[in-house]
């Protein structure tokens, strides 16, 4: 079973403070160990909301709001990793994607790169990696989008892949299958889905191949402890029935 472990943004990240060397080292060892064991499928960290853009679609019109901003409707249904030259290029693809969805919301967030964390100098003109977060709605929470809409999204994803823009995509099962893990000084409270919404911005995620929910929660305890022990994590099942785009 594949689980997406999503931790929420905190005030330090939102303020633009770099993580400590200790945190980077411990998280690197944690993720690296799971990668070596073949459990890590995907993962990424996101910066403060000032590095993000929110796209809201209503009645065929798109309203774009650059960050910084607070969380509003932060319950994802799918993520697409885009590699582009400019933010404007990413916004163009996101707007096309959102217009297929109809009324709804998309968020574009820049992925943290090693140079964003102070680990190395930035290379000259690096590609821009952006995470497109498709927000959940009544269709995805009910188990899927209408066939015509799914076909249109599939055609656009194929076009994005051929253009060298789409790196990988992951769809999530409805939040009815999810758990919300609320840690306070490493004490855990577990909330069962479905969730109407989440108002906490996603700070980063890891996708793991695990035996089941018990192993996933146990793993999250260590994950949360590394991140300070007081935070919120959403534990979502990846929808493996959906065709996924992955690196060749």
pLDDT digits (tens, 9 = 90+) for 81-110: 999 999 999 999 999 999 999 999 999 999
Position 247 scores a pLDDT of 45
Q: If pLDDT is split at 50, 70 and 90, which confidence band does 248 have?
A: very low
Least confident residue range of 21-25, 29-33, 213-217, 239-243: 239-243
Percent of the chain at pLDDT exceeding 70: 97
How many angstroms separate the most distant Cα atoms in the chain? Answer: 49
pLDDT tens-digit readout, 206-242: 999 999 999 999 999 999 999 999 999 999 999 988 6
Domain chopping of the chain, boundaries: 2-237
Position 8 scores a pLDDT of 92
pLDDT tens-digit readout, 158-188: 999 999 999 999 999 999 999 999 999 999 9
Exposed / middle / buried, residue 181 (Cβ in 10 Å: 0-12, 13-18, 19+): buried
Confidence check: pLDDT of 194 > 50: yes
Mean pLDDT in residue range 46-61: 94
């Amino acid at each position: 079973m594949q689980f997406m472990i999503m931790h929420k943004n905190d005030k330090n990240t939102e303020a633009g403070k770099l993580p400590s060397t200790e945190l980077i080292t411990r998280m690197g060892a944690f993720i690296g160990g799971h990668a070596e064991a073949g459990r890590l499928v995907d993962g990424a960290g996101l910066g403060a909301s000032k590095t993000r853009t929110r796209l809201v679609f209503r009645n065929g019109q798109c309203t774009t709001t650059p960050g910084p901003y607070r969380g509003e409707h932060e319950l994802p249904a799918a993520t697409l990793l885009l590699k582009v030259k400019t933010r404007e290029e990413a916004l163009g693809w996101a707007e096309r994607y959102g217009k297929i969805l109809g009324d709804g919301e998309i968020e574009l967030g820049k992925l943290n790169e090693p140079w964003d964390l102070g680990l190395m100098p930035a290379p000259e003109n690096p590609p821009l990696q952006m995470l497109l977060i498709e927000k959940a709605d009544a269709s995805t929470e009910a188990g899927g989008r209408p066939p015509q809409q799914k076909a249109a999204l599939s055609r656009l994803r194929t076009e994005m892949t051929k253009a060298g823009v789409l790196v990988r995509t992951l769809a999530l099962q409805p939040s009815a299958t999810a758990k919300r893990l609320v840690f306070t000084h490493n004490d855990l409270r577990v909330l069962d889905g479905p969730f109407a919404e989440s108002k906490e911005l996603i700070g980063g995620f890891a996708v793991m191949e695990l035996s089941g929910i018990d192993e996933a929660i146990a793993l999250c305890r260590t994950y949360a402890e590394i991140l300070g022990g007081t935070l919120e994590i959403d534990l979502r099942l990846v929808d493996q029935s959906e065709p996924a785009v992955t690196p060749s």
